[in-house]
Structure 1
Amino acid sequence: MKHLNKIFVAVMMVMGLSSQAQDSNNPWAISFGANAVDTRTSAGGGNNWADRHFSQPFAVKDNWNILPSVSYLSVFRSIGDNFSFGLTGSVNKIDKYVNFRPGAAGDDSRGMVVSNPGDLMYYGIDATVRYSFMSLIKSKVIDPSLSVGGGYTFFGDSSYGTLNPGAGLTFWFTENVGLELSTRYKKSFGDREDASGTPDAPSHFQHSAGIVFKFGGKDTDGDGIYDKDDACPDVAGLKQFNGCPDTDGDGIQDSEDACPTEAGLAELKGCPDADGDGIADKDDACPEVAGSVAMKGCPDTDGDGVADKDDKCPTVAGPKDNAGCPYLDTDNDGVFDKDDACPTVAGPASNKGCPEVSEEVLKTLNEYGKVILFDSGKATFKKGTYTVLESITAILNEYPNSKFQVEGHTDSDGSNVLNQTLSENRAAAVKNYLIEKGVATDRLRSTGFGETKPMSSNKNAKGKAENRRVEISLIKE
Structure 2
Amino acid sequence: LVVFMVALPGQSMAENNAGSMGLTFFFGGYTFDPDQDLDSELTVGLGLGYNITSNLGIEAMVNTVDTKGDFGFDASALVSHVDGLYHFNPEKKLVLYLAAGVGLIRIDYDSFLHSNDTDMLVNYGAGLKYFVDKSVALRADVRHIISFGPTNNNLRYTLGLLFPFGGKSQLSQKSGQTAVLPESDSDGDGVPDHLDKCPDTHKGVAVDRYGCPRTQPTGAEVTERGTYVFRNIQFDTGKATIKQGSYAVLDNVVMFLRDNPDMNMEIQGHTDNIGSEAFNVTLSESRAGAVLEYLQSKGVESGRLTSKGYGSSMPVADNDTGQGRALNRRVEFAPITR
**TM-score, normalised relative to structure 1:** 0.39
In the alignment, which of 210, 215, 218 is matched to residue 160 of structure 2?
Answer: 210
C-alpha distance in 1 between matches for 2:167 and 2:54 = 17
| Residue identity in the other structure for 2:61 | T
How far off is 1:87 after superposition? 0.8
How far off is 1:265 after superposition? 2.8
Q: Which residue of 1 aligns with 2:238?
A: none
How far off is 1:144 after superposition? 2.1
Q: 1:192-230: CA deviations, max 9, x gaps?
A: 8xxxxxxxxx542122211113321257xxxx943x444
Q: Which residue of 1 aligns with 2:207?
A: 265
C-alpha distance in 1 between matches for 2:107 and 2:190 = 63
Q: 1:428-452: CA deviations, max 9, x gaps?
A: xxxxxxxxxxxxxxxxxxxxxxxxx
In the alignment, which of 124, 138, 147 is matched to residue 165 of structure 1?
Answer: 124
C-alpha distance in 2 between matches for 1:259 and 1:30 = 50
* Residues 416-427 of structure 1 mapped to structure 2, 5 A cutoff: none
Q: Which residue of 1 aligns with 2:23?
A: 30
Q: In 2, are the aligned partners of 1:26 and 1:214 still within 8 Å (CA)?
A: no
How far off is 1:152 after superposition? 0.5
Distance 1:151 1:170, change over 3 A: same
1:117 aligns with 2:73: yes
Bigger helix share: 1
How far off is 1:280 after superposition? 5.8
In the alignment, which of 129, 132, 141 is matched to residue 93 of structure 2?
Answer: 141
In the alignment, which of 245, 252, 260 is matched to residue 184 of structure 2?
Answer: 245
* Residues 322-401 of structure 1 mapped to structure 2, 5 A cutoff: none
How far off is 1:236 after superposition? 2.5
Structure 2: 5+ residue runs without aligned partners? 1-13, 109-115, 235-241, 252-288, 299-338
Q: Which residue of 1 aligns with 2:62?
A: 89
Identical amino acids, percent of aligned pairs: 18
C-alpha distance in 1 between matches for 2:97 and 2:54 = 13
C-alpha distance in 1 between matches for 2:34 and 2:244 = 97
C-alpha distance in 2 between matches for 1:72 and 1:153 = 14
In the alignment, which of 60, 69, 74 is matched to residue 47 of structure 2?
Answer: 74
| Residue identity in the other structure for 2:87 | S
Distance 1:313 1:121, change over 3 A: closer
Structure 1: 5+ residue runs without aligned partners? 1-20, 43-61, 98-113, 193-201, 238-243, 286-290, 317-477
Bigger strand share: 2
Aligned length: 223
C-alpha distance in 2 between matches for 1:260 and 1:235 = 26
| Residue identity in the other structure for 1:310 | A
| Residue identity in the other structure for 1:252 | V
Q: In 1, are the aligned partners of 2:131 and 2:137 still within 8 Å (CA)?
A: yes
| Residue identity in the other structure for 2:79 | G
Q: In 2, are the aligned partners of 1:191 and 1:203 still within 8 Å (CA)?
A: no
How far off is 1:276 after superposition? 6.2
C-alpha distance in 1 between matches for 2:81 and 2:201 = 54
Q: 1:255-283: CA deviations, max 9, x gaps?
A: 4431388365346x524467666636945
Q: Which residue of 2 aligns with 1:184?
A: 143
SS at match of 1:254: coil
**TM-score, normalised relative to structure 2:** 0.52
Q: In 2, are the aligned partners of 1:262 and 1:271 still within 8 Å (CA)?
A: no
